[in-house]
């Protein structure tokens, strides 16, 4: 086996089996082939584009950006599972994690990974932007009270959205809703 100096790290980045990118101020500076394939773009086309291109709506991009900044400032890194948008406009569940490269300035520069969860968790219902955000919190195991606090909503409003999600997914209980959001079959 060759020395570590024989490894072409740029090639490793490009061929990594998970979507990866480097960003500055929420703009993709460079990305690998897996990220391009996942979102349906040639990697060169994503370079220079705002991450907003990958979100279902501009509002979700803005709200999540604020949450990311607060978490990265506190913890140094960020991870969640959320619904993203492919070039074809297809929505899909994605695990996203990242780290700021400049301490104290979470969006100045970062390294991000994206893992497509659509094979395990398909998006099976048409959801509003707010329902998508609440669904992402629910799969994290957060209560309505915590979701309300993080989103700046009343717990009653979160409960109203949860009830709509339950109807859309045909769930009778909250735990059944979570299972459906996670893509688990009925009776699992």
Average pLDDT over residues 40-52: 97
Integer Cα distance of 12 and 7 in angstroms? 8
**If you classify domain 4-116 with CATH, what class do you get?**
alpha beta
For 122-185, the DSSP string reads ---S---HHHHHHHHHHHTT--HHHHHHHHT--HHHHHHHHHHHHHHHT-SSHHHHHHHHTTPP
Encode pLDDT of 60-112 as tens digits: 999 899 888 888 878 888 999 999 999 999 999 999 999 999 988 989 999 99
CATH 1.10.10.10 residue ranges in the chain?
A: 129-181
Which DSSP state fits 76? Answer: S
**If you classify domain 129-181 with CATH, what class do you get?**
mainly alpha
pLDDT at 5: 67
Q: For residue 113, give both structure tokens.
A: 């990974």
Report how far apart the first and last C-alpha atoms of the chain are (Å, whole number): 46
Kindly tell me if the per-residue pLDDT of 3 is higher than 70. Answer: no
Encode pLDDT of 125-177 as tens digits: 888 889 989 998 998 888 999 999 888 899 999 999 999 999 988 898 888 89
CATH 3.30.450.20 residue ranges in the chain?
A: 4-116
Angle between helices 155-169 and 129-139 (to 10 degrees): 90
Kindly tell me if the per-residue pLDDT of 2 is higher than 70. Answer: no
Q: Compute the mean pLDDT over every residue in the chain, rounded to the nearest whole number.
A: 90
pLDDT band at 19 (very low <50, low <70, confident <90, very high): very high
Kindly tell me if the per-residue pLDDT of 4 is higher than 80. Answer: no
pLDDT band at 1 (very low <50, low <70, confident <90, very high): very low
**pTM here?**
0.81
Residues of the chain with pLDDT > 90, as a percent, come to: 60
């Amino acid at each position: 086996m060759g020395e570590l100096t024989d490894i072409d790290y740029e090639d490793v980045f490009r061929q990594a089996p998970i979507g990866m990118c480097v960003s500055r101020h929420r703009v993709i500076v460079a990305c690998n082939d897996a990220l391009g394939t996942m979102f349906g773009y040639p990697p060169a086309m994503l370079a220079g584009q705002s991450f907003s291109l990958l979100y279902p709506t501009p509002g979700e991009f803005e709200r999540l950006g604020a949450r990311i900044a607060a978490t990265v400032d506190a913890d140094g890194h960020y991870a969640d599972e959320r619904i993203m948008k492919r070039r074809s406009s297809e929505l899909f569940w994605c695990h996203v994690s990242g780290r700021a490269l400049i301490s104290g300035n979470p969006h100045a520069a970062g390294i991000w990974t994206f893992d497509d969860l659509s094979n395990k968790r398909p998006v099976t219902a048409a959801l509003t932007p707010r329902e998508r955000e609440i669904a992402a919190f629910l799969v994290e195991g957060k209560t309505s009270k915590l979701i309300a606090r993080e989103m700046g909503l009343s717990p009653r409003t979160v409960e109203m959205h949860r009830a709509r999600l339950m109807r859309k997914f045909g769930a009778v209980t909250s735990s059944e809703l979570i299972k459906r959001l996670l893509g688990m079959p009925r009776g699992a």
